[in-house]
Amino acid sequence: MNDKRHSTLLLLGALLGGCATLPPSGTTPRTPPADPWLHPSPQTERPSPSYRAFLAAMERRPDPAALLAQEGHLGLARLLRREFSRLDRAEPRLVGRGLHTPAQPPQQLREAAHPRANEPLQIALEEPIPQPPKDLWQRIRAGFALPESERHHPRVQNDLDWYRRHPGYLERVARRARPYLYHIVEEVEARGIPGEIALLPIVESAFQPFAYSHGRAAGIWQFVPGTARLYGLKQNWWYDGRRDVFASTDAALRLLKTLHRRFDGDWLLALAAYNSGEGTVRRAIRKNRRRGRPTDFWSLELPRETRGYVPKLLALSRLVAEPERYDIALLPIANEPVLERVDPGSQLDLALAAELAGLSIEEIYRYNPGYNRWATDPDGPHELLIPIEKVPDFYDGLAQLPPGKRIGWRRHKIRRGETLEQIARRYHTEVDLIRRINHLKGNTIRAGDDLIVPTATRRVGAYTLSLGQRLLRTQNTVRSGRQKVVHYVRRGETLWSISRRYRVGVRELARWNQMAPGDVLRPGQRLVIWTRSDKLTARARTGPSRTQKIAYRVRPGESLFLISRKFRVSIDDLIRWNRLDPKAYLQPGQRLTVYVDVTEQSNI
């Protein structure tokens, strides 16, 4: 066994046993921290009661990290696994997961980890321990713990057949999972959760970090807003923790462990509750009990989606368990970390972050899909995930970047009639942030005053995977056989009422605008609707659709934003029709050409 790995295990044993930590030669041992589980016994040469229990458990299950996690020491478990992984990569030799093998009984380990005074440390393993798997799929497979009979339930077969017929789907999913899967497996193992759970994001989102469902669920673990807040995932204008891969993984695994405990250790019921809610599953259980029926997952009357949810995961686990049997070639994923968390300490423009790390802007968003806008959240989190090999260059570049240059700044002179909301929209920032930076107590501003406004260092279109740019790309995706109509929401309108007007489905309308059917609309919100080309649009049904050219004179205090809302046209159209510079101010008296549909105007 690797000497460094021995040292790590001995240090762990020393801490757990309550004896002094291993000192450098010729120095006095230091006393370990006074943790309830690590507290030393009065006789330092004997293991503490906690460590004796640890050793007894080791005889039944020789996996130190899993036992640490079971005792609630997730930090120690994670550190132990990562240290072993680091040592294995640095010096690839025969290593293993156990603190002892059958040839090294617990009594010998106790004597090795807790030597009597003046006796040298000795430890000997008589048999080599197998090398850890090089492929992550193999590691996941080794962690499978759900009953074999569940994977072979008849209701699993349909999903198994579908995956076998669509190998390209599995390859795409594996490519998307590659940056994140190692971390998920680490967390699953550290918490003593079955390895099958590491495959759950395939069922939830196909490992698409920007996934957004009709039920308002987001991220690879598909959290809805309420549950996300309950489990500590921050959501605001700048940041959505549901799409933060590391934060949402932690929250999802905590939720699953809670459900597992509440359903008396039944993982299938816990998974069903994760999908449809704990209350839904409990009602189904009570119903079966009243009828004298079994209360296992397969016997419950659950929503259709939930009935298909668990079999999908079990089908995936069958394929991963025996890919050769089903003629499936899983895309290899190395059993090593890909990303590392870096903390710049303050708000940072994501284009600058990408430049410091030697990445494209799109890559920085794919590794950090939790960030909605052009920068990290001003109030945190500021952390970023970047490839491990890029970390030194990132910190070197960050050290040379003055704090005041981490985002852009503009001085804006307030014009008559302008509001903070209009200014925030213009510069793609937040009203609260403008107020804070300029020490404003409310929303009242005076024409002629100057404001300092935080801005992006690049044009907004360069942030290709920001929330706004993703929305534009979705809205502008051409739909075959349909015509594009732009609709500005009026007070009192809902997605349902608009869908009825244009004769389209509510879910279609929501999907075209990256929304959920239940989302609340705001007056003035811009929606794109794709109507059937062979039918009249809603505008035509309410009267003749007439486009009219108008020569409009700009009034004092007006902006492109205000004029676009006034005539229900887009800012981009105004710029194109008048060949305007987007960054230039409009001048009172300036003449603009506007093409309007008069059937949509109430002021013409």
561: closest CA among 437, 389, 410, 421? 421
Nearest CA among 459, 439, 407, 444 for reference residue 238: 407
Q: Which residues pair with 483 in a beta bridge?
A: 531
Helix (H, G, I), strand (E, B) or coil at 504: coil
Calpha distance 440→426 (Å, rounded): 19
Alpha carbon distance 319, 174 (integer Å): 13
Quick one: 200 exposed, middle or buried, by C-beta within 10 A (0-12, 13-18, 19+)? Answer: buried
Residues across the chain: 604
DSSP assignment, residue 330?
Answer: P
Residue with tokens 């359903």: 263
529 near 536, Cβ under 8 Å? no
Q: How far is CA 564 from CA 237, 426, 552, 554, 573, in A?
A: 23, 13, 12, 12, 9
Whether the bond into 381 is cis, omega within 30 of 0: yes
Q: How far apart are CA 517 and CA 523, in angstroms?
A: 17
Q: How far is CA 377 from CA 235, 238, 347, in A?
A: 10, 5, 6
Q: Are 398 and 386 in contact (CB under 8 A)?
A: no
C-beta of residue 206 within 8 angstroms of C-beta of residue 174: no
Which of 204, 355, 418, 430 is the catalytic position? 204
Using only C-alpha atoms, the chain has a radius of gyration, in whole angstroms, of 30
Cross-strand partners of 318: none
- Tokens representing 392 are 């030194």
Residue 434: its H or E element: helix 431-437
430 a catalytic residue:
no
**CB–CB of 260/271 below 8 Å?**
no
Tell me if 586 sits within 8 A of 558, measured CB to CB.
yes
- Bridging pattern class, strands 482-488 and 450-455: unpaired
* Whole-Å CA distances, 42 to 39, 49, 108: 10, 11, 22
Contact 197, 140 (CB under 8 A): no
Residue 469's alpha-carbon distances to 34, 250, 428, in angstroms, are: 52, 28, 12
- Tokens at 256, concatenated: 């699953």
**162 CB contacts (<8 Å, ≥6 apart)?**
315
Count CB-CB contacts under 10 A for residue 246. Answer: 19
Beta-bridge mates of residue 548: 596
Residue type, 517: P
SS3 of residue 576 by DSSP: helix
Specify which residues 212 forms β-bridges with.
218
Catalytic residue positions?
Answer: 204
